[in-house]
Amino acid sequence: MKNLIFTLLVFASFSLIAQSAATITVDATKNVSSISPWIYGRNNNTSDDPSKPTSNTNWQLYNDAGLRFYRENGGNNCTKYNWRLKLSSHPDWYNNVYAHNWDYSANTILTKTSGTQGLYAFQLLGKVASNKKNNFSDWTYSQDVGYSSPANNWAGGGGDAKYGGNGGDGDPSLYLMDWPADSTVGILDHWFNTLGYDSTRLQYWNMDNEPEIWSGTHDDEPTSSMTAEAYMQKYFAVAKAVRKKHPYIKIVGPAFANEWTWYNWNNSLVKGIDNKDYSLIEYFIKRIGEEQKASGLKLLDVLDVHFYPGTSGNPDLTLQLHKIWYDSTWVYSGANGVKRLGKWGWDGSITKEYFFERCNQWLIKYVGANHNVKFGIGEYGQIAPSDGTEDPNLIACWYASNLGTFANKGLEFFTPWDWYKGQWEVLHLFSKYYGTFATSATSSLDDVVSGYSSLSNHGDTFIVVLVNKDRTNSRTANVNIQNFTPSGSNVEGYQLASLSGETFVSKSSNALQSKQYTVAGNQMSLSLPKLSVTLLRIPTNSAVQTPYAVEENAALKVNVYPNPAQDMLNIQMEKAGVYTVSIHNILGEKMGEWNSAKQVDISSFAAGNYIVQIKSDEGVVVKKVVKN
C-alpha cells in the first residue's frame, strides 16, 4: 500500500509539473537581427519539361502560401546534368538518361513569381549525360519483375541479356561525357547573357550534391577511390571559375547528406597534410580557409547540409529536432557522426550536436572572425511516415519550431525535401504574418512550449509565435513583453490547431483561425490547444527602431559585390539610369553618398557591418555588406 501511495504521489506531482504554465519572455530590443526570406523554401516545385508545365493551380498555391525559395536542381540528378543538351543521368534509376530543361524551369520561376530566388547547381564530378540512346530497358524489365533494383548500373548495355544487356554493369562511356569546370560554369553566361535571365533572382548555386556518398550514388564512375582532397580540388576549380566570371553568385556547399556523413568521407575521418585526422566538415572548412587565403577569392557563401534523421517512429524527438543546430546543451539521442570528434577518433560520451555552432567555431578558426559565411539546409526529410498518415498538427509544430529557430539564428535558406500535411499552413502563417527582424524570446518550459518573436519592417508591430508541443494537453502561456508598449488592450491573433488532413488550398481557403486576445499592460495570458501554433500581432503607437527597414517589392535590380569587401565595392545595375548609393553603419549613420557610382571606395571604413542603400526612380534596394 505504501508503494502504491508513493507511486500515485509521484505520478500526481509529475502530472502537475507536466501541465504547469509556461512563461514566455519577449524583448523587442534584444538580439535584433534580420530574418532571411529564403527560409520559406522547398524542393522540387517546378516542372522542367515544357510539355508538362507546372499547373496554374500549383503556382497559385506557391504564391498564396508565400513560397520564396525554390531549390530545383533535383538532388542526385544534378550531378550529371548537361545544360547544353538538357539531359541528366539518374543514379537512382539504372543511370538512365532523361531530358531535363533547367532553362525552362528557371524561366517559369522568374515569370510566375516575384521576389523569389531559385537554387540550381554546378556539376563537380566531371562527367555528365551525353545521350539517351543507351538506356536500360526499364519498361520491359518492369513488366516481368516489377520496378526492382533501380540502383543497378545497367545503362550503357548492362543488365540481363533478356533485356538487351551484357549480364553485368553497363559502360558509362556510352552515356556520359567529360565536363570540366568551364563547362559547368558556362550556364551562367548562357542564362544571364544569352537568355537575359535576371541574375539577381538566380544568385544561389549548389556546388553539386552529397559528394561524400558519390561512391554509392554515382558508382558507375570510379568514385570509391576519390579522396576528400581530390573532391576539394574539383570544388576549388569550379568555385574559382564562378567567382572570376560572376563575382556576385552565392556559392553554396558542400551539401553533405546526413549526420554521419557530415563528419565522414567514405565512412572515415580525413587525413590532413599535417598527418592529423579531421572530421569531414572541419576538413572542408579548413581547406576553404587555406584556399581563400592563397587565391584571394571568396569560395564559400553559404555552408549547406542535408538532414534525414529518420524519426517517424519517435514524435517526441521530432518535436525537439530544431535544437540540433545551435543548442549546445541539448542531448541528441541520434548523435552518431559527431562522436568522431573525440580525441581518438571516437568518443561515445559526445551526445550534443549543435552542428552550426561548431561550424561557426571552425569558420572563425580557419577563415576568420569576419568570415561572413551563412548557413543553409538544402534537404530535410524522414520525420514522419511516408504513407500519408502523418499527423499535420505534429508536423505544424515541428515546422514552426524550425522556422522560429532559423529566423532567430539568421539561417540563410531552408528547403525541406519531404513535404507533409500541415507545412503549407505554417508556411502561409509565417510568410504572411511573421516579421522582418527577429528578437529575443525565452521560455521557462521550452521543451513543451516554445516562443519566438519578431518585429515588423518598421518596428510598429511586435509578433510573437507560441508553439505548444504537448501531444496530450492544452497549456497556459504567460507572455511577458519587454521594451515594447502595446497601443491598446486588444491583440490580433492567428492559430493552427486540430488540423485534419491537407487543409491549405489558398490564402482564402485554409485552416487558419482568426483570434482576439487581451493584453494588460505588458502581460498576456492565453490557453494554447495541444499541438498548436499561435501567432500574436501586437501593435504600438511608439515604433521600435529597427536596424534598417528593408524596402520591399522594389523593381530595382542590383548586385553589390564582393561581400565581404576590403577596399572597393562594385555596384552592378540591371538597367542603366540615374541612381544614388549611400552607405550607413549599423547605427544608421550615413558614411557617404555617391551619384550613379559603379565603384565605391570603402578602404577608409573600419572593419564591420554596413548597410548599402541604392535609390532610383524604380525603387530602393538595401544590401548588407561586411568590410574586412
Residues 232-243: pLDDT tens digits?
999 999 999 999
pLDDT of 551 reads: 63
Q: Are strands 413-414 and 374-380 parallel, antiparallel or unpaired?
A: parallel
**Confidence band, pLDDT 50/70/90 cuts, at residue 550:** low
Instruction: Answer whether residue 360 shows pLDDT above 70.
Output: yes
Provide, rounded to the nearest whole percent, the portion of the chain with pLDDT above 70. 96
pLDDT of 6 reads: 38
Name the residue type at position 72. E
Residue 37: cis peptide before it, omega within 30 degrees of 0: no
Alpha helices in 19-114 (DSSP H): 56-65, 102-112
Domain 23-30+439-539 belongs in CATH node 2.40.37.10: no
Asked if 217 and 152 touch (Cβ cutoff 8 Å), the reply is no
pLDDT of 542 reads: 93
pLDDT of 554 reads: 58
Q: What is the total residue count of the chain?
A: 628
Distance CA 352, CA 518 (A): 40
- Residue by residue, DSSP assigns 401-443 as HHHHHHHHHT-SEE--SS--TTHHHHHHHHHHHS-SEEEEEEE
Greater model confidence, 84 or 163: 84
Instruction: Answer whether residue 624 shows pLDDT above 90.
Output: no
Region 56-77 average pLDDT: 98
Q: Which residues contact 11 (CB under 8 A, 6 or more apart)?
A: none
Q: Is 85 helix (H, G, I), strand (E, B) or coil?
A: coil
Region 592-618 average pLDDT: 87
Greater model confidence, 549 or 308: 308
**Domains of the chain by residue range:** 23-30+439-539, 38-127+185-432, 558-627
Region 559-563 average pLDDT: 85
Q: Is 469 helix (H, G, I), strand (E, B) or coil?
A: coil
- Residue by residue, DSSP assigns 58-78 as HHHHHHHHT--EEE-S-GGGG
Region 280-309 average pLDDT: 97
Distance CA 297, CA 314 (A): 44
Grid coordinates representing 110 are 522568374
Residue with grid cell 504572411, as numbered in its chain: 432
Distance CA 466, CA 451 (A): 5
pLDDT of 604 reads: 87
Distance CA 501, CA 503 (A): 6
Superfamily classification of domain 38-127+185-432? Glycosidases (3.20.20.80)
Provide, rounded to the nearest whole percent, the portion of the chain with pLDDT above 90. 81
pLDDT digits (tens, 9 = 90+) for 394-432: 999 999 999 999 999 999 999 999 999 999 999 999 999
**Confidence band, pLDDT 50/70/90 cuts, at residue 49:** very high
Residue 91: cis peptide before it, omega within 30 degrees of 0: no
Greater model confidence, 424 or 247: 424
Instruction: Answer whether residue 320 shows pLDDT above 90.
Output: yes
Q: How far is CA 17 from CA 20, 21, 445, 483, in A?
A: 5, 9, 10, 30
Three-state secondary structure readout of 533-551: EEEEEEEECCCCCCCCCCC
Instruction: Answer whether residue 181 shows pLDDT above 80.
Output: yes
**Confidence band, pLDDT 50/70/90 cuts, at residue 587:** low
- Angle between helical axes of 423-433 and 392-409 (0-180°, round to 10): 40
Domain at 558-627: CATH code: 2.60.40.3080
Asked if 205 and 249 touch (Cβ cutoff 8 Å), the reply is yes
Asked if 219 and 153 touch (Cβ cutoff 8 Å), the reply is yes
Average confidence score pLDDT of the chain: 93
Greater model confidence, 619 or 196: 196
Region 300-328 average pLDDT: 98
Q: Do domains 23-30+439-539 and 558-627 have the same CATH topology?
A: yes
Name the residue type at position 280. L
Region 71-86 average pLDDT: 98
Name the residue type at position 349. S
Greater model confidence, 119 or 20: 119
Would you give the distance in Å from CA 296 to the centre of its chain?
27
Grid coordinates representing 207 are 556546388
CA-closest candidate to residue 104, choices 60, 47, 189? 47
**Confidence band, pLDDT 50/70/90 cuts, at residue 1:** very low
Asked if 321 and 311 touch (Cβ cutoff 8 Å), the reply is yes
Name residue 468's beta-bridge partners: 449, 532
Name the residue type at position 27. D
Lowest mean pLDDT among 472-476, 495-499, 582-586: 582-586
Instruction: Answer whether residue 534 shows pLDDT above 50.
Output: yes
pLDDT of 565 reads: 84
